[in-house]
Chain A
Amino acid sequence: MSFNPLEQRGIPLDRQLRSWRELNVQPIDPDRCDPYTRCRIIAMNGIEVEAILFSHQLARNTVDPEVKRQLARTRYIEAQQQKVVNWLLPGVSSVLETTIAYEQVAVDLTAWVARMEPDPYLKQAYQFGVLEDFDHLYRYANLYEMIEHRKAESIVDDLTEVMPGRPTKYHHRDPYDNVRDPYDKSGTNPLSKLHALTIMAAEQQTMNFYMNTGPTYMEPIARQLYQEIGLIEEEHVTHYESLVDPGETWWEQLVNHEYNECYLYYSFMEQESDPKVKAIWELHLNMELEHLHTACDMMRRHDGREPQEVLAPELPNVLTFEPNKQYLRELLDTQMDLTTLGAGYVREAHERFEKMQEQIHGGEQPPSERVMVQHDEMFGREYRVQTEGEHPDPAMREK
């Protein structure tokens, strides 16, 4: 089915403001919800946070007060959308439970995008990153059992496997090697632009979440693990944001942001199993259509170009949350030992990588290793969910 957001009209902007009563949404049940409903909430929150932050940056770089006011109007509505979406998460969840759900988002969203990405260089960037998110899920899952005596499968529900990915200790690379080459805005498939924006926003939200919630823990190993993985999220944001062509004008970027929000709300509306949440995706899609038209008008006015020149003629296939177990197992089998060198990838540890490793670890085991030791001391085993058999890499099988 084809859906072209440029040809649809939504709710007029001056009728989009919601009252406290409308903002007061009923949260999902953390133990009985569809795990992918929670994933869609977390992913969409990241998208709205990026929309707000991008608009603030644009406003700070805008001289014309009338344009600032126009941006402020749309942005206030986006701030309300963020409140509605993120407030679907229940207060009864612990930070660690939400963290495990964040990692499930990172794994299944990035894996799906890697599968669908048409550009081989960009595809490699997602394949590389997803094996790191996969390992973070495994480390947090072990921490979760230690602190709360609960298993991560009660959150990810066997949709996502939990076992080692590329070991977290090897994610600490020299920042020089975290910068990738960008796609070319005029030559690339429009879908690639949406993918890059989506994964960048999701990783940015994860970075923000860990940097703010990590210190709320009292257990030393929890505090330290959040610090370590929080720093890797900094690397991931660097990695993904550098894929976006910096030659896109501010207005072009604004249009891409709004178009991506239409794409994702439409995608999530199409697959949502919870009717109350589905109604929110539908409402927000109808709001975003107007935000997109406003952004398109700004692009025409300030850039003197038609938005159709940079956008897809219709929405691509819906972005889908679904299990990616076999795909991840293929990557585990073939890409575990990769690291980055400049804007590319190598299998050998190079000088800059080794120097960074030496400095940051300081001759000690990092928190991501110590959490496994402490878990083993407590339970005499590690925690994994391997629904599809043994780990593809023999070196990573449980001893």
Chain B
Amino acid sequence: MPETHTPQAGDDRAADNDVVALLMRQHGDIRNLFDEVEQSRGEERRDAFRRLVRLLAVHETAEEEVVHPFARRALPGGEQVVEDRLAEERAAKETLAALDELDTDDPKFMLQLMKLRKDVQEHARAEERYEFTHIRRSTDADGLATLAKAVKAAEAMAPTRPHPGVESAKANVALGPVAALVDRTKDAVRKAMDKD
């Protein structure tokens, strides 16, 4: 059987000129990583979990910096839609923080992970249905492309895929690097937005 690994958004050959399509593919990437964490053990699971945390951090930060402010400004009733999404994100972050304190081999880890998976999945679908549809409706092709570029800039500054030789196994496990990652992502997004 040929290799059917699904590359992450940005690594496939999509044009990525539509921020909504890009973020929807990232939602799938996040689900794939949840599966990977669940199906692996030991060091492999630690590694998959680290990648999941990073992708979640980058994805949510990019949304907070790019998509939510836009929705808040441009959509009628956008304020409330964004508030609901931010509340979901806060809840997910709390679960994520609790998870991050556990070792991936801890028996409580899987239980927490399943809860996070459910929260993140519900949050992602709510974004797709109540926020993304409005963004596409109220934004022209140039606008969608600009937003996509900003999200991709965040991705480029904070790679979430393993680069052999760059990362040691134990680095980046603690929350410190994740917080730094969030900051780097914010900077990257703001720079990209300023250019246009």
Residues of A in contact with B (beta carbons under 8 Å apart): 31, 91-92, 94, 145, 147-151, 154, 218-219, 377-381, 383-384, 386, 398
Contacts and interface: CB of A to CB of B under 8 A. Distances in A.
Nearest to B122: A92
Interface centre among B14, B28, B121 (most CB of A within 10 A): B28
Contact of B2 (A31, A149, A151, A381): A381
- Label chain A's interface by main secondary structure: loop
Contact of B6 (A92, A94, A150, A386): A150
A145 B6 contact: yes
B26 to A, nearest CB: 8
B166 interface: no
Shortest 3 CB-CB contacts between residues of A and residues of B:
A149-B28, A149-B25, A148-B28
Interface in B120-136: 121-122, 125, 128, 133, 136
A398 B2 contact: yes
Q: Which of A91, A145, A150, A386 has the most CB of B within 10 A?
A: A150
A221 to B, nearest CB: 11
A261 B3 CA distance: 43
Nearest to A144: B28
B29 interface: yes
Interface in B88-133: 117, 121-122, 125, 128, 133
Given A145-B6, A148-B25, A150-B32, A379 B125 contact: no
B67 interface: no
B136 A379 contact: no
B121 A378 contact: no
Given A92-B122, A379-B12, A384-B1, 6 more contacts: A145-B6, A149-B25, A150-B28, A154-B31, A218-B133, A377-B13
Contacts of A218: 20, 133, 136
Contacts of B121: 31, 92
B186 interface: no
13 contacts: A94-B128, A147-B21, A147-B24, A149-B9, A149-B12, A149-B24, A149-B26, A149-B28, A150-B6, A154-B31, A380-B13, A383-B4, A386-B1
Interface in B1-57: 1-4, 6-9, 12-14, 20-21, 24-29, 31-32, 35
Contact of B25 (A147, A380, A384, A398): A147
A377 B13 CA distance: 7
Contacts of B122: 92
Contacts of B29: 149
Contacts of B136: 218
Contact of A381 (B4, B28, B32): B4
B12 A378 contact: yes
Contacts of B14: 378
B155 to A, nearest CB: 14
A147 B28 CA distance: 9
A94 B4 contact: no
Given A377-B13, A378-B12, A380-B13, A148 B24 contact: yes
A214 to B, nearest CB: 16
A148 B26 CA distance: 8
B86 to A, nearest CB: 19
B9 A378 contact: no
Nearest to B35: A154
B13 A379 contact: yes
A151 B6 CA distance: 8
Contacts of B32: 149-150
Nearest to A150: B28
